[in-house]
């Protein structure tokens, strides 16, 4: 029967420390673009479903989108941003002329 007691570190164990620099994934902004045909309720749905925005924040973004013609829906690392962009484009495909883009953050 195996012994259930935790093993102790031996004095000669060395911790692994990497001398390689830590790489931080580039961040991007998922930007929604206004158009005259996509309803605000659909944009709210996209913001809540795919961008993780609560209803209050989503409504603020939709308001900014209507006023400025574009608005940041969320900030993500590049890989996640690409996934989110694909999700919102797929949701709109064949229904509305909705457009979204990714823009690099400095």
pLDDT in tens, 55-66: 999 999 999 999
Q: Pick left, alpha or beta for residue 82 (phi over 0 → left; psi -120 to 50 → alpha; otherwise beta).
A: alpha
Mean pLDDT of 44-64: 98
Q: Do residues 100 and 88 make contact, with C-beta atoms less than 8 angstroms apart? A: yes
Parse the chain into domains and list their residue ranges. 27-104
The beta strands (E) that lie in the chain are given as: 27-33, 70-77, 99-104
As a whole number of angstroms, the distance between CA 70 and CA 102 comes to 12
As a whole number of angstroms, the distance between CA 30 and CA 26 comes to 13
In this prediction, residue 4 carries a pLDDT of 63
The CATH class given to the 27-104 domain equals alpha beta
pLDDT of residue 6 exceeding 90:
no
């Amino acid at each position: 029967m195996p012994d259930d007691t935790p093993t102790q570190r031996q004095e000669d164990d060395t911790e692994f420390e990497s001398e390689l620099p830590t790489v931080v994934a580039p961040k991007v902004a998922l930007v929604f673009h206004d158009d005259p045909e996509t309803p605000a309720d659909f944009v709210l749905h996209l913001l809540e479903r795919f961008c993780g925005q609560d209803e209050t924040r989503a409504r603020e973004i939709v308001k900014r989108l209507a006023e400025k013609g574009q608005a940041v829906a969320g900030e993500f690392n590049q890989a996640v941003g690409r996934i989110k962009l694909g999700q919102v484009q797929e949701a709109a495909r064949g229904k509305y002329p909705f457009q979204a883009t990714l823009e690099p953050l400095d």
